């Protein structure tokens, strides 16, 4: 984004409604910034007004935004129908991310829906759990309020298992897991439900993952990393959702047909933690590395520290890590640190040098350059947009 006052006066304002409390919102915002930076390297023609919570996104705010002359909207906070309806009636270019609106979906133009693919999530989760080769039964645990995306994830999970001759139980409460033949592998509707399941299993003294393997969805690190054992999770590519949403909105504002009305985004990775276990020696080695990185990345560790912890050669450690995680050990350390940097930019007022130090970066200027290269925006601009209302 560009904050030169003389230039900003000629920018078009767009309304971006993202829940910033979790990793999904921060990743989506990073994707929006990346599109703007790559498409308009000198200065984006848009001034982003960011709304971060459901309570902020009221019909009154929507009306005020329309009066101020916004050029378009990106919305990704559910249960905000009354505010969405105010904006929908204007005919402004509109992108919905991972939520639905019958009023908008009835439009014949100026509307795009971007969402993560429930089908791919269910399919990749099934392949991963089957690949462990230890479960005697499989199950999907829904939210208490069964959602459309949950139904889609369950259907794809069940279909993929059926394709290799395996049955999938459909569950609605954690207590139902106790009746299944063990060892059992359970995919939950999201990380919140996975946390609830782990708490129940611990209360029954069931071993995780030896008796019950648990796989969540969304890779919300605040939940997954603070559970014991830590929760493995399917990570949708939220950053790519933000990128595609910004591109679609930009095209509609410029009068260009954005193509398909519904744009699906796939899985970025499956983040493996202690709630699932790899049967192979390679898998156990990588899980040990991931656990060490998650615990110590913010302390300034390097690849050598990880290798020393694993007690194997550096070449073998990096080879196995790339095979099972799809990235190098150094990249995994860096991504863990950058996740924490973004969290602190949104949730604290810490100075840049303090954030760099707290996140394991010895040089704040190095962090600033790395952040800009990785996310397409400076740290100060990221924080400013996240704080604007």
Instruction: Write out pLDDT tens, residues 201-213.
Output: 999 999 999 899 9
| Residue 386 binned pLDDT confidence (cut-offs 50, 70, 90) | confident
Phi-psi region of 237 (alpha: psi -120 to 50; beta: other; left: phi over 0): beta
Q: How much is the pLDDT for 9?
A: 52
CA 229 to CA 206: how far, in whole Å?
12
Q: What local confidence, expressed as pLDDT, does residue 59 receive?
A: 96
* Cα angle, residue 322 at apex, residues 139 and 118 outer, rounded to 5°: 35
Task: State what percent of residues in the chain have pLDDT above 90.
Answer: 70
Q: What is the pLDDT of residue 278?
A: 62
CA 125 to chain centre: 16
Pairing verdict, β 184-188 and 137-141: parallel
Alpha helices by DSSP H, listed for 275-363, are 281-296, 303-310, 314-325, 329-347, 352-358
Topology at the third CATH level for domain 5-116+238-267: Rossmann fold (3.40.50)
Q: Which CATH architecture has domain 118-231?
A: 3-Layer(aba) Sandwich (3.40)
**Higher per-residue pLDDT: 70 or 131:** 70
Where residue 7 falls among pLDDT bands split at 50, 70, 90?
very low
Q: What is the pLDDT of residues 223-259, one digit of tens each?
A: 999 999 999 999 999 999 999 999 999 999 999 999 9
Q: What is the pLDDT of residues 278-289, one digit of tens each?
A: 656 776 787 788
- pLDDT of residue 193 exceeding 70, the answer is yes
Q: How far is CA 1 from the centre of its chain?
A: 22
Residue 8 in this model has a pLDDT that exceeds 60: no
Query: C-alpha angle 353/50/15, rounded to 5°?
Result: 150
Which pLDDT does position 158 carry in this prediction?
Answer: 96
Nearest in space to 45 (alpha carbons), one of 308, 295, 250, 313: 250
- Domain ranges (residues) in the chain: 5-116+238-267, 118-231, 281-377
**281-377: CATH architecture:** Orthogonal Bundle (1.10)
Establish whether domains 5-116+238-267 and 281-377 are of one fold. no
| 16 close to 369: Cβ distance less than 8 angstroms | no
279-331, pLDDT tens digit by residue? 567 767 877 887 788 889 999 999 999 999 999 999 999 988 887 666 799 99
Distance, in Å, from the CA atom of 250 to the CA atom of 165, rounded to the nearest integer, reads: 46
Q: Is pLDDT of 4 > 50?
A: no
- Residue position matching structure tokens 């939210």: 143
pTM over 0.85: no
Spatial separation of the C-alpha atoms in residues 373 and 292, rounded to whole Å: 26
What mean pLDDT is predicted for residues 192-207? 95
Average pLDDT estimate for 187-209? 95
Do residues 37 and 73 lie in contact, with contact meaning Cβ atoms separated by under 8 Å? no
């Amino acid at each position: 984004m560009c904050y030169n006052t003389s230039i900003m006066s000629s920018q078009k304002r767009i309304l971006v409604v993202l829940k910033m409390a979790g990793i999904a919102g921060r990743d989506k915002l990073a994707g929006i910034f990346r599109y703007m930076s790559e498409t308009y390297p000198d200065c984006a023609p848009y001034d982003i007004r960011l709304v971060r919570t459901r309570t902020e996104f009221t019909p009154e705010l929507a009306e005020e935004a329309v009066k101020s002359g916004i050029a378009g909207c990106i919305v990704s906070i559910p249960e905000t129908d009354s505010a969405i309806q105010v904006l929908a009636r204007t005919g402004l270019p509109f992108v919905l991310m991972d939520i639905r609106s019958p009023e908008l979906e009835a439009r014949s133009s100026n509307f795009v829906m971007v969402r993560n693919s429930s089908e791919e999530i269910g399919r990749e989760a099934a392949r991963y759990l089957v690949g462990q080769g230890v479960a005697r039964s499989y199950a999907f645990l829904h939210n208490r309020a069964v959602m459309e995306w949950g139904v889609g994830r369950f259907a794809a999970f069940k279909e993929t298992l059926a394709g290799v001759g395996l049955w999938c139980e459909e569950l609605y409460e954690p207590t139902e897991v106790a009746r299944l033949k063990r060892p059992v592998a359970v995919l939950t509707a999201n990380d919140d439900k996975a946390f609830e399941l782990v708490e129940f299993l611990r209360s029954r003294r069931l071993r995780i993952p030896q008796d019950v393997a648990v796989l969540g969805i969304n890779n919300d690190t605040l939940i997954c990393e603070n559970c014991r054992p830590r929760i493995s999770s399917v990570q949708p590519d939220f950053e790519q959702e933000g990128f595609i949403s910004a591109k679609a909105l930009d095209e509609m504002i410029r009068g260009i047909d954005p193509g398909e009305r519904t744009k699906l985004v796939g899985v970025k990775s499956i983040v493996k933690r202690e709630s699932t276990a790899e049967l192979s020696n390679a898998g156990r080695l990588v899980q040990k590395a991931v656990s060490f990185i998650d615990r110590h990345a913010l302390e300034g560790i390097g690849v050598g520290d990880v290798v020393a912890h694993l007690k194997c050669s550096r070449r073998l450690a990096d080879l196995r890590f790339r095979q099972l995680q799809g990235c190098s050990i150094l990249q995994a350390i860096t991504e863990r640190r950058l996740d924490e940097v973004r969290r602190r930019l949104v949730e604290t007022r810490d100075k840049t040098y303090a954030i760099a130090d707290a996140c394991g970066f010895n040089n704040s200027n190095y962090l600033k350059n790395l952040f800009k290269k990785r996310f397409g925006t400076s740290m100060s601009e990221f924080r400013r947009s996240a704080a604007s209302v």
